[in-house]
Chain A
Amino acid sequence: DIQMTQSPSSLSASVGDRVTITCQASQDISNYLNWYQQKPGKAPKLLIYDASNLETGVPSRFSGSGSGTDFTFTISSLQPEDIATYYCQQYDNLPQVTFGPGTKVDIK
């Protein structure tokens, strides 16, 4: 099974800060990686698909990069409404799918 790790597990940043989250796969998953945002009490929301493609309607301050085993998710300028937990998700070994453990983002 492919294992996913994320770091950090949580972070606090100020409004306007650049925020970076990393996701690492236990083996090469090419670019078969998505990023989701989950606000408290809400369903997850797709932000980035195939590692670097912005989902329609998602603000451009969100971006993703990487391939192989190492991936990065960035919020270029943190906004109060970005308070959420962010999950990476791999789909290299279909039909099995794995989510990362999540990164909780708070405002300092």
Chain B
Amino acid sequence: QVQLVQSGAEVKKPGASVKVSCKASGYTFTSYGISWVRQAPGQGLEWMGWISAYNGNTNYAQKLQGRVTMTTDTSTSTAYMELRSLRSDDTAVYYCARKKWAATFDYWGQGTLVTVSS
């Protein structure tokens, strides 16, 4: 069965970077894209961007351009999301999701809580 398993919770100081992993199993990794979506405490869902696992092409949300990088390692079927220059308002649960087509996300990871605090 399709599974996306994310890395564990992180606590970071303002200005630091965080890298979250998302290990896929149960399907051909390079046949689908991976998107990242975050959710601040008590708030709604915010799309961050996605990466093609086939060719590594990326698209990022405009507000995160320059601070976010998404990569994949096809040898381990793992996607990564790195966010730099962290601020307190980056505190959120970060989800990876498989991109079924266009922008339809059919399987999701369990989420990774990133807390930014001094």
Contact = CB atoms under 8 A, between A and B. Distances in A.
B108 A45 contact: yes
B47 A46 contact: no
Nearest to B45: A99
Interface residues of B, number: 23
A101 interface: yes
A96 B49 CA distance: 8
Contacts of B50: 95
Nearest to B46: A99
A44 B107 CA distance: 9
Contact of A32 (B61, B102, B106): B102
B75 interface: no
Contacts, number: 61
Contacts of B95: 43-44
A108 B42 CA distance: 22
Contacts of B46: 99
A64 interface: no
20 contacts: A38-B45, A43-B109, A43-B110, A44-B95, A44-B108, A46-B106, A49-B100, A49-B104, A50-B104, A89-B103, A94-B102, A95-B59, A96-B59, A97-B35, A97-B47, A99-B37, A99-B44, A100-B44, A101-B44, A102-B45
Closest 9 CB pairs of A and B: A91-B103, A95-B59, A43-B108, A97-B47, A99-B45, A97-B103, A49-B104, A102-B44, A46-B106
